[in-house]
Every structure is written in C-alpha cells, then in structure tokens.
C-alpha cells in the first residue's frame, strides 16, 4: 500500500477527495531552492476547473506549507504541503455507495481495502489528489528552469480534433506555459471546446492525448534496464488518473517504419553532437542523448458519466443499473496538462539528483 514516488527525491501523497485535506510530503529535496508562492498558485489555477467544459466543483486550493521552508527557501528537510477540501457534496454518493462505477476504481478499491475505503468522490483514487502533485511541481519546475531545463505540454488531440506538432520548441514551450488552454494552434481551441461541450450535452465524456517536450536536459541521465528515463517517466505518468497509454518519440509509429528511416543519424553542429531527426525522443539505451525528450500520453474519457450504465451492487452481489450523481468533468485533458508537467518535473529532479547529487539542483 505504497503512495510514494521516487528514489532520491521522494513524493508521498495523502488524503481523499471528500476528506478534510489532501497533500504531499517531499523528502530528499535540495536546500536553498526558492519557493515562489505566486508560481505555485498559478500552477494550481491551471489545474482548476474552468467553465462548462469542467466539473462544477470549485476548490480555491488555499495550500499551506507547514514544514521544510524557511525565509522563502527550502531547508533540505521534508516539506509538507496541505490543501484543504471545501466544496464537497458528499451526500451525492450515499445512494450509489455500493454501485461500482464502470471503469472507475470503486470495485478494485473495495477488493484491496476490504470495504474500508472512502467511497466519496473516488476517495484516494480521485483526480482531486493531483492538486498536491501540482503544488510540488510549482517548487521543482522553477528550479529546473534555472538549470536551463524547460517542460511544456500541449493538448495534441481532444476527441476528433488535433493540434499542430511542436515546431520551435523554445517558443512553443514559452507560449504553452502562459496560456490557460494549452494548444499550439489557437484556432483549434474553439473546436476542442465544442467537442467537449457536445459530449457534456448528451451526458457523456471525451478523451484525448497530451504531448510533452523537455529541452535542456544534459546527455547521460538515466540508467540501463530498470531505471531508464522511459521506465521512470512511464511509471509516474501511468499514475496520473485516466492515463492508459504512453509513447516516446515515434512510439508505436516505429511498428510501420524501416531502420533506415527510423534511425536518428548523428551529426556535429556548432561543436556539439546532435541527431538529424529525433524519432527516439531524446533517449538512447534508456539514457538522455541531449536532444529534446518528447513523449505522449493517452487519456481515457472520464469514466463517470450521466448516462445509465450497467453495473453490480457490491453489497448484494447482484446486477444493477447506475444513474450516477455528483459533479464530474466531461473531459480532463485540458486540466491534466499541468499535472503532466509536474509529474515530469518530479521524475527529472529525482534522476538529476541521483546523477549529480542533492545540491546540484540548487547550484548556479
């Protein structure tokens, strides 16, 4: 029953969707990092629901850092971040307590925790628990940027609407990190919003794909076999609720390619070794090669919908029909991009500390 991510720098999550509070504990962090409260608030704002394309549940997320920060700097001791829950409608879940929501964690949680789990709003399995992850990202992302490492994520696809590919990564990442709805082609924003609204109108939901680019990573980060860049990132990315697929570089496209077109030829440019293409997504042998790290995640449609669904009554062990109540997102992709940025930052900070030492992240 482990809720901790990381090897050198670790993050432990706690809390439930309708409990008193949710939060995270960060251990192994570099001392002397600046904690910018305005940036953390900005990150939490980007994760919050916005308008009719999101859940009506509205949380202000007035986080509190209760340890590990003094004078605006990390002390190097464990940081504990607490975010209270306020806008909860727990009664919405009482009548359907024993009706397992299809494709949700209700049934599996009941099996694992023997019926003692908090069933309200998904409990510990709720997307609400990603808020502390974003707060952690709010500390680590600026630290990585000071080392020249930048992370940007866009909505590559929402339902049947697609965004353009990355082009100028430096400019694209800068623009993405200063927009509420993370697309590269502003013209598709309205189309994606309409796609979500159409699903919402009929009581349904829609999925999508996020694409992330990381620039500025030094060559040589990662371990062969079991702690590769891909394996550690995938471990964390699959922990984001609703992620059902991860691919790096050309990903599953390799299956229809030949080696002559799939291989990334090496060249010298301005005295540095680069590759002419980046089908490998900046990783060879599980180790960064100095090129941008590129990966995509597939998000399933939100499983809780307003349409009647066949299910079972766990307490009676009989078939039933679920007419779900409560407040739910018709799509989570637009909110999840900042979660993906934060999870990526946590994994990269952990790997870089493992490679160069705890103090490296704070060194000028």
What residue ranges do the domains of the chain occupy?
A: 4-362
270 three-class SS:
coil
What token pair was written down for 134? 């974003």
Distance between CA atoms of residues 364 and 359, nearest Å: 10
pLDDT for the residue numbered 87: 64
Signed CA dihedral, 212, 27, 2, 353: sign only? positive
Q: Which of 336, 285, 344 is nearest to 6 (CA)?
A: 344
Asked whether the beta carbons of 152 and 167 are under 8 A apart, the reply is: no
pLDDT for the residue numbered 121: 78
Q: Which of 259, 284, 286 is nearest to 274 (CA)?
A: 284
pTM of the model: 0.95
pLDDT for the residue numbered 92: 66
Instruction: Give CA separation, 118 vs 16, 104, 124, in Å.
Output: 7, 14, 7
Give the residue carrying structure tokens 């299956």. 255
Q: CA-based Rg of the chain, rounded to a whole angstrom?
A: 21
Instruction: Give CA separation, 179 vs 58, 148, 170, 186, 337, in Å.
Output: 20, 21, 15, 10, 11
Assign domain 4-362 to its CATH architecture: 4-Layer Sandwich (3.60)
Q: Which of 33, 167, 55, 183 is nearest to 122 (CA)?
A: 55
Kindly report the backbone phi and psi dihedral angles of residue 180, in degrees, each rounded to the nearest multiple of 5, phi listed first.
Answer: -75, -40
pLDDT for the residue numbered 323: 86
Average pLDDT of adjacent 10-residue blocks, the chain of 364 residues: 92 92 97 97 90 72 95 98 80 81 92 91 88 98 98 97 98 96 96 95 95 98 96 97 97 97 97 97 98 98 91 95 79 96 98 97 86
pLDDT for the residue numbered 301: 95
Q: Which of 7, 60, 51, 45 is nearest to 223 (CA)?
A: 7
Give the residue carrying structure tokens 């940081």. 79
């Amino acid at each position: 029953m482990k809720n901790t991510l990381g090897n050198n720098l670790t993050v432990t999550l706690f809390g439930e969707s309708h409990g008193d509070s949710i939060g995270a504990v960060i251990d192994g962090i570099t001392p002397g990092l600046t904690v910018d409260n305005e940036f953390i608030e900005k990150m939490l704002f980007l994760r919050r629901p916005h308008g009719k394309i999101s859940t009506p549940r509205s949380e202000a997320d007035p986080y509190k850092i209760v340890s590990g920060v003094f004078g605006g700097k990390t002390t190097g001791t464990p940081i504990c971040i607490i975010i209270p829950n306020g806008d909860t409608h727990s009664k919405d879940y009482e009548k359907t307590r024993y009706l397992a929501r299809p494709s949700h964690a209700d049934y599996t949680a009941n099996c694992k925790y023997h019926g003692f789990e908090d069933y309200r709003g998904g409990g510990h399995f709720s997307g609400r628990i990603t808020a502390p992850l974003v707060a952690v990202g709010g500390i680590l992302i600026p630290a990585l940027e000071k080392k020249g490492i930048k992370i940007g994520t866009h909505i590559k696809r929402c339902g049947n609407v697609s965004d353009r590919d990355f082009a100028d990564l430096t400019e694209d990442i800068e623009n993405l990190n200063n927009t509420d709805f993370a697309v590269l082609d502003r013209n598709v924003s309205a189309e994606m919003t309409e796609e979500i609204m159409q699903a919402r109108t009929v009581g349904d939901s829609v999925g999508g794909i996020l694409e992330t680019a990381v620039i500025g990573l030094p060559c040589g980060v990662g371990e062969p076999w079991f702690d590769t860049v891909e394996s550690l990132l995938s471990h964390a990315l699959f922990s984001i609720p609703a992620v059902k697929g991860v691919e790096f570089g050309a990903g599953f496209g390799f299956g229809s390619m030949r080696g002559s077109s799939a291989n990334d030829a090496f060249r010298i440019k301005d005295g540095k070794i680069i590759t002419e293409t980046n089908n490998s997504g900046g990783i060879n042998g599980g180790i960064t090669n100095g090129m941008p790290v590129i990966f995509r995640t597939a998000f399933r449609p939100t499983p809780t919908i307003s349409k009647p669904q066949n299910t079972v009554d766990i307490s009676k062990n009989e078939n039933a029909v679920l007419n779900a109540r409560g407040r739910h997102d018709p799509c989570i992709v637009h909110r999840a991009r900042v979660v993906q940025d934060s999870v990526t930052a946590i994994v990269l900070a952990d790997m870089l500390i493992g490679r160069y030492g705890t103090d490296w992240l704070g060194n000028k």
